[in-house]
Amino acid sequence: MADALGVWRRLVGAQIRSQLQYRASFALDVAGAFLISFLDFFAILIVFHNVPRLGTWNVHQVALLYAISMISFALTDLVIGHLDLLPQKVRDGTFDLVLVRPRSTLLQIAALDFQLRRLGKAVQGAIVLAYALSGAGIHWTAARVLMLVLTIPVGIVIFGAVWVAGSCIAFWTVDGGEFTNAFTYGGNFLTEYPVDLYSRWARRLLAYVVPLAFVAYFPALYILGKPDPLGLPRALEFSGPAAAAAACVGAAATWRFAVRRYRSAGG
Amino acid sequence: MIDVENLSKRFVVRSGRFRRERRVVDAVKEISFRVDRGELLGYLGPNGAGKSTTIKMLTGILVPSAGRVSVAGLDPSRRRLELARRIGAMFGQRIQLWWDLPLLDSFELLRHIYRVPPDRYRRNLERFRDVLELDPFLQTPVRQLSLGQRIRGELAASMLHDPELLFLDEPTIGLDVVAKQRVREFLVELNRERGITVLLTTHDLGDIERLCSRLLVIDHGSLIWDGGIPELKERYGGERMLIVDLERPEPPLTVEGAVVERVDGPRQWLRFRGSASELTARVARSARLVDLQVAEPDIEEIVRRIYARPPGA
């Protein structure tokens, strides 16, 4: 495992070096990613400009959801966002090369096309987090701080698992990219808002099937000391790590199954 | 080293936009063969015959539909990671080097991916730099290399971890004569020095003739030849050519067991089967011979003849 991380670091390091060769263009990329992602948050601010509350949630509370979701998603994107290139690799057969090397296929894909500029979105999330914490009136306890700190890695793992599982569609259909996006970018969007706003079936889906409610909603309830408007069991607020682990197991199994369906390309 | 039994791969191809048609294509049909350690084996076939599909099953890229494969004692698709450490693969048209990095950086990365011990890495690199003459472009980004330079780089890259078995898919495609020669010499040397087993697919019959002791020919997914090159010539190219220079121009000779193919002044070309010395004796009885030579059919011609056969013949 440590060795695998070492290889990842080296592969990624090599790419960062070559990206930093063009400093000006790199700086513009980061700034662009940073600014564009702010538009999302402006949309939320505009909503609250017209209504004081969404359900039981005020603007700072929604900002907390948004920030947790955005930071987790941006860091996931940084680490495995290049899974978006998978459909192309499967279609043109260059996935072959990944398979003839003695390393995990996922590790290699993760180290394939590392784009440091994706960090821009995480920075934006951190700024929104500061805004949220400044006005949410949280009664800080050690447990709540711990929950906030733990929420980010749990979120990364859940988003990552959803991303990996969703990408597997590439092994069945030639153009599954949009399907995958519905889960990844769509999932990011869904988790930025309070889950209790959604219809019943969507809530069930997010809590029990694609466990995105564990990214921001349940931990935010705990951090804010807010009773669950849905009256779901309180234990769910602490189940993030378990949900993340389950999501990983599911994603890994899906991935292994999918890779065996790989058909390469002629030539 | 390789043991293949009744190996098949079947693809389901769907076509048509609205009324989907489902078509089954047998890319490889029940082929069987064995390769011993240290063999240099050529794998030949027209485009779409199943060459690449076979190699992909041997390297663990594709999962076979039926049959049994064992490479270095491992089932390739189930023990992919273990196998990958022990084999090298180079696909002429697919780039395994990092496009934007200098060649040497790619080697460094591969060293870590394959966990090559530092001293072994140094020794191998030194050797490959020398034999493949990599030094002039070792620090050049791969995207700026010429095709010949890149192929040499790829070859070195696929050998850094001392594989026992090397799969080469079209290793000399697009290379000029000098570069081809260099690559071939490199392979022969590796095979002799390290006893590495090489399986090579190619369209270049020169590769085959200079490198391989044994040949597999696949067509329409079935193996139609497995054997040595002399035997192949014997079987499919049994006819040879006797070229005789006579004292003076003559009308086409009539000798038993041979047909005159061409006449050019005093020189005549006779197509024949069987013993060259008996034919020469017969020719000498009917005309005065100045000089003669026997031409073997070249493998290109033979392979063309094999491909031209209707399937199943």
pLDDT of residue B16: 63
User: Between chains, do B61 and A94 touch, taking CB under 8 Å as contact?
Assistant: no
> In 3D, which of A92, A9, A8, A100 has the Cα closest to residue B158?
A100
Q: Choose from B53, B74, B94, B167 for mutation: most chain A CBs within 10 A.
A: B94
| Interval A187-203 mean pLDDT | 84
For A262, name the nearest residue in chain B, comparing CA atoms only. Answer: B62
Tens-digit pLDDT profile for residues B125-159: 998 898 888 999 999 989 899 888 898 899 899 99
Percent of chain A whose predicted confidence (pLDDT) is above 90:
35
DSSP string for residues in chain A? -HHHHHHHHHHHHHHHHHHHTSHHHHHHHHHHHHHHHHHHHHHHHHHHHH-S-BTTB-HHHHHHHHHHHHHHHHHHHHHHGGGGGHHHHHHHTTHHHHHTSSS-HHHHHHTTS--GGGHHHHHHHHHHHHHHHHHS-----HHHHHHHHHHHHHHHHHHHHHHHHHHGGGGT-TT-HHHHHHHHHHHHHHHTS-GGGS-HHHHHIIIIIS-GGGTTHHHHHHHHTPPPTT---GGGGG-HHHHHHHHHHHHHHHHHHHHTT------
What does each C-alpha distance from A213 to A65, A96, A227, A238 come to in angstroms? 10, 36, 15, 12
Establish if A197 belongs to a structural domain. yes
Which of A101-110, A186-195, A247-256 is most confident? A247-256
* pLDDT score recorded for residue B75: 93
Name which of A103, A266, A267 is nearest B113 (Cβ-Cβ): A103
pLDDT of residue B164: 93
Cross-chain CB nearest to B113 (options A7, A264, A266): A7
In the predicted model, what is the mean pLDDT of residues A183-190? 84
Write the ipTM: 0.75
- pLDDT beyond 50 at B31: yes
- Please give the tally of structural domains in chain A: 1
**What pLDDT shows up at residue B312?**
47
Mean pLDDT of A6-26: 80
B128–chain A nearest CA distance, Å = 20
Residue A93's domain comprises 2-259
pLDDT higher than threshold 70 for residue B215: yes
**Does residue B204 carry a pLDDT above 80?**
no
Specify the pLDDT at position A1.
67
How far is C-alpha B220 from the geometric centre of its chain's CA atoms? 18
- The model's pTM is 0.79
Average pLDDT score over residue span A6-31: 80
**Chain A to chain B Cβ contacts (< 8 Å):** 65
Among A87-96, A122-131, B289-298, name the most confident range: A122-131
Q: Which residue has the higher pLDDT, A50 or A115?
A: A50
Predicted confidence at residue B167, as pLDDT, reads 93
- Return the ∠ at Cα A113 (arms to A112 and A115), rounded to 5°: 145
CATH architecture of the domain formed by B2-234 = 3-Layer(aba) Sandwich (3.40)
Q: Inform me whether the pLDDT recorded for A267 exceeds 60.
A: no
**Which segment of A4-18, B78-92, B249-263, B296-310 scores lowest on mean pLDDT?**
B296-310
Residues of chain A found within 8 Å of residue B142, distances taken between Cβ atoms: none
pLDDT tens, position by position, A2-14? 788 888 888 888 8
Whether the predicted pLDDT of B311 surpasses 60? no
Q: Do B89 and A100 touch (CB under 8 A)?
A: yes
Could you tell me which residue, A55 or A76, shows the higher pLDDT? A76
Q: What is the pLDDT of residue B32?
A: 94
Q: What is the mean pLDDT of residues A158-168?
A: 93
Q: Using pLDDT thresholds of 50, 70 and 90, give the confidence band for residue B309.
A: low
Q: Phi and psi at residue A3, in whole multiples of 5°?
A: -65, -40
Give the pLDDT confidence score for residue A20 in this predicted structure.
76
Render pLDDT for B14-28 as a digit per residue (tens, 0 to 9): 766 666 677 888 889
3-class DSSP state for residue B116?
A: coil
Question: Which has more pLDDT, A20 or B226?
Answer: B226
Looking at residue B313, what is its pLDDT?
44
Q: Write out pLDDT tens, residues A129-149.
A: 999 999 888 889 999 999 999
Report the alpha-carbon distance of residue A207 to residue B227 in Å, rounded.
63
